[in-house]
Amino acid sequence: MPTLTINATINLTDEEAAAVADALGCPLTQLQAKFAPYAPAAMREYLDMFGGQAMTSVSDARDRRLLAILLALADFPSDETIARLFSLTGSAARALLRTTLSRHRNRLKGVVVAAAKKFLAACNQAQPGGDWEARYPSSVLVEILNVQLAAATQPRAPIRRKPGTFDTYVVANGAKNELAALYP
């Protein structure tokens, strides 16, 4: 299989650099390091297009771009990061993520497994035998985990958002054990 190594320099205006840094949630001094993981995703889009995989709509283009980003990044992006990158509302970003994860579930299986393991690693238990809590920035991943809990041979309580928080979830002990068995 051929491997392409491409080095490119892109000149940005101050306004462009500021807008991209804002979208990536970083200061200008970290722009190059924060942007670098996205470069292979952009290259993949051109390779797919040149290879004959036509995109017929804007939603198809967004779907493919998010697929490439999910495959390129080391960490599962937050719902808000997707909203900023694609200039979407939070609900539209979550809908795009749901669609992309559904359409490309086989290609993204490893990404979802890694994200589920990070969710489980974020779980902390205040008292032995009690519920677990986890801060995690993707409500869509929590939805996926809840679908798996509902389909378990012994259905478990769903993961729920902790009242008064945006990104903290409560995981019942049985649900945590079920997910730990699914994602060792």
Model pLDDT for residues 72-81, shown as the tens digit of each residue: 988 999 999 9
Question: What's the pLDDT at 133?
Answer: 96
CA pair distance 68, 39, nearest whole angstrom: 10
Collect all residues with Cβ–Cβ distance below 8 Å to 126 and sequence separation of at least 6. Answer: 133
The confidence band for 170, taking pLDDT boundaries of 50, 70 and 90, is very high
Tens digits of residue pLDDT in 79-128: 999 999 999 999 999 999 999 999 999 999 999 999 999 999 999 997 88
Task: Give the torsion sign (CA, 112, 115, 117, 123).
Answer: negative
Q: State what percent of residues in the chain have pLDDT above 90.
A: 64
Q: Using the predicted structure, report yes or no on whether residue 153 has a pLDDT greater than 90.
A: no
Question: What's the pLDDT at 51?
Answer: 81
Amino acid at 84: R
Q: Is 52 exposed, middle or buried (0-12, 13-18, 19+ CB in 10 A)?
A: exposed
Would you kindly state where each structural domain of the chain is located, as residue ranges?
Answer: 14-107, 113-182
Question: What's the pLDDT at 97?
Answer: 96
Question: What's the pLDDT at 60?
Answer: 85
Q: Which two tokens stand for residue 21?
A: 């840094």
